[in-house]
């Protein structure tokens, strides 16, 4: 039986118990690496190209890390670099997700949002199935999200509300919110995967 968003968030908190330090440190490094490339691209445009080849593997790696915390498996900092062992699929998946989302957004904002939500499970799928091809992972994500896009959107709104509160803490609250959100969405992935294929 699928779980509601409140239960998934509660389960994510339980999975993070005793692992907050590891999660905060790992996500902080992840955000600093991505943010560093984005910042550098303002002065050095070629770094945008580097980011395209780094963001995909890191997205897979952070998905591996989040799934391990979510499933109460052993989670380690170095797992965020795991996507580099599946470099080709990670990069192609990232480029395709960005391309498809941009193309849908060019039509209208709403189709762009729907497309982004449809592709939201792509990197969890690659993290779970290292042998899957990029386009297959995207297609599988679209299939998995069929009937769950609105639920995912509502989950996103919850975290958006919490993000507004984090601004009141001068941003310090994001140190907890970002791992919390990622682990919750990992719970979401496992929940709809279980229902999709059960």
Q: What is the pLDDT of residue 197?
A: 46
Cβ 54 vs Cβ 33: under 8 Å: yes
d(CA 30, CA 182): 12
Mean pLDDT, range 10-32, rounded to an integer: 96
Q: What is the DSSP letter of 82?
A: G
Q: What is the DSSP letter of 129?
A: -
Residue 75, helix vs strand vs coil: coil
d(CA 84, CA 135): 18
What is the reported pTM? 0.91
> Whole-number mean pLDDT of the chain?
91
Q: Residues of the chain with pLDDT > 90: what percent?
A: 75
pLDDT value at 1 more than 70: no
d(CA 146, CA 148): 6
Q: What is the CB neighbour count within 10 angstroms for residue 197?
A: 7
4: pLDDT confidence band, cut at 50, 70 and 90? very high
Mean pLDDT, range 107-111, rounded to an integer: 82
Per residue in 118-174, pLDDT tens?
999 999 999 999 899 999 999 999 999 999 999 999 999 999 999 999 999 988 999
Q: What is the pLDDT of residue 198?
A: 41
Q: What is the pLDDT of residue 47?
A: 76
pLDDT value at 68 more than 80: yes
Alpha helix ranges (H) inside 76-133: 87-107, 109-118, 122-128
Of the listed ranges 100-109, 127-136, 140-149, 180-189, the least confidently predicted one is 100-109
The number of residues in the chain equals 198
**Packing angle between helix 174-197 and helix 5-16, nearest 10 degrees?**
120
d(CA 64, CA 125): 10
Q: What is the pLDDT of residue 46?
A: 73
């Amino acid at each position: 039986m699928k779980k509601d968003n409140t239960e998934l968030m509660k389960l994510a908190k339980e999975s993070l118990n005793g692992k907050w330090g590891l999660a905060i440190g790992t996500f902080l490094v992840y955000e600093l690496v991505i943010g560093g490339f984005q910042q550098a691209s303002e002065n050095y445009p070629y770094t945008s190209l580097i980011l395209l080849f780094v963001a995909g593997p890191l997205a897979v790696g952070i998905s591996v890390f989040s799934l391990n915390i979510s499933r109460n498996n052993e989670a380690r900092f170095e797992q965020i670099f795991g996507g580099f062992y599946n470099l080709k699929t990670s990069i192609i998946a990232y480029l395709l997700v960005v391309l498809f989302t941009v193309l849908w957004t060019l039509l209208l904002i709403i189709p762009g949002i729907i497309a982004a939500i449809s592709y939201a499970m792509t990197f969890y799928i690659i993290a779970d199935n290292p042998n899957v091809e990029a386009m297959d992972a995207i297609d599988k994500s679209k299939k998995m999200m069929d009937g769950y896009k609105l639920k995912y959107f509502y989950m996103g709104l919850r975290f958006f509300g919490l993000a507004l509160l984090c601004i009141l803490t001068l941003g310090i609250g994001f140190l907890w919110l970002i791992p919390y959100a990622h682990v919750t969405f990992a719970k979401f992935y496992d929940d709809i995967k279980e229902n999709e294929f059960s």
